[in-house]
Amino acid sequence: MLDSLDPISIALGVGIGLLLAVLVQANGGAAKVIPVNPSIEKDSPKVGHMVTITDMEDLMKSSGKDKVSYCRCWRSEKFPYCDGSHNKYNEKCKDNTGPLTIMKKE
C-alpha cells in the first residue's frame, strides 16, 4: 500500500503528525483545563448550597415575584441566585446555559 502513495503525501503526513506532537508537548501534554467555576468560594473544596422551600417562598414574597432562579453558569454576582450573567457568557463562549427556575404552582 505504501508504494501506491507518492513521497510528497507521505512527507506531508509525517510533517503534520510531528507538528501536532510538538504542539501537544508544548502544552504540557494535555489540553488546557478551564474551570467551570471562575471565582465563587474558591477556597472551599466543594461549593454547595441548601435552600429550604420556606427560604424560596420568603424570597418570592420579598421580591414580589412568583419564581426564583438559581445560577448554573457560575458567573452571577448574586450566586447562588441568577442575575442574568449567563446571557453575556453564552454570547462570548457560544454556550447555551441558563438558570434553574422554580415557580409557584398556579
Q: What is the DSSP string of the chain?
A: -GGGS-HHHHHHHHHHHHHHHHHHHHTTTSPPP--S-SSTTTTSSS------HHHHHHHHHHHT-SEEEE-SSS--TTTTB--SHHHHHHHHHT-----EEEE---
* Host domain of residue 93: 53-103
* 46, 92, 94, 105: the active-site residue: 46
Q: Examine the residue annotation and report whether 61 is marked as an active-site residue of this protein.
A: no
74: domain CATH number? 3.40.5.90
Asked whether residue 84 is domain-assigned, the answer is yes
Asked whether residue 16 is domain-assigned, the answer is yes
- pLDDT tens column, 13-41: 777 777 777 776 665 656 677 788 999 99
Per the structure, the count of domains in the chain is: 2
- pLDDT tens column, 35-94: 889 999 999 999 999 999 999 999 999 989 999 999 999 999 999 999 999 999 999 989
